[in-house]
Amino acid sequence: MVTMTEEPKHQVETPTTPDRPTEEPPTRQIPGMHVGPPTPGGDLTTEAHEALQMTVAMKMVGSAMVFIGFIQVFLSASTGAEITIFPMILYFAGMALWAHSSVKIPTVRYLVIAFSTVCALGFLQLGEVLFWHKYVIYWGTIGMVVFFMFQTPKNLDDPK
């Protein structure tokens, strides 16, 4: 009688500790910005995080209001149709919200907010939108977009 005392040929060992240290995935390096997995504990306090979320929400809502108001002004200017004061009030209210959340220099921020408020109140007082109002808004918005489109962003490493 023959007995088999051979060990199985397919034996897999599972080590309990790794033979080499775990490698972290490579992270992209952007000067001045932390990129990679979030740090435990976070850099911002709860209040600062909520303020940042409110700023982002104001930027989004202000941009949407400006866009919706501008689209109505654009369609009215291109077709020659009459519009009410509501798109103008929407446009200038959005401009004030956007400036409050986006403009960093306080003097410029409050000048834009004051100008937007005066224009919105002027349209409320006047009660109608004239032909030249639509074209001032139209070309002013195009000029503003072109100005910001060709701005070079500030370098985060440069303290100027």
**Residues 129/85, Cβ–Cβ less than 8 Å:** yes
**CA pair distance 12, 59, nearest whole angstrom:** 58
pTM above 0.95, yes or no: no
**CA pair distance 66, 22, nearest whole angstrom:** 50
Poorest-pLDDT segment among 37-41, 49-53, 146-150: 37-41
Q: What is the pLDDT of residue 160?
A: 56
Q: For the chain, what are the domain ranges? A: 54-149
**Residues 121/85, Cβ–Cβ less than 8 Å:** no
**CA pair distance 156, 106, nearest whole angstrom:** 20
Intra-chain end-to-end CA distance of the chain, in Å: 92
Compute the average pLDDT of residues 92-108: 91
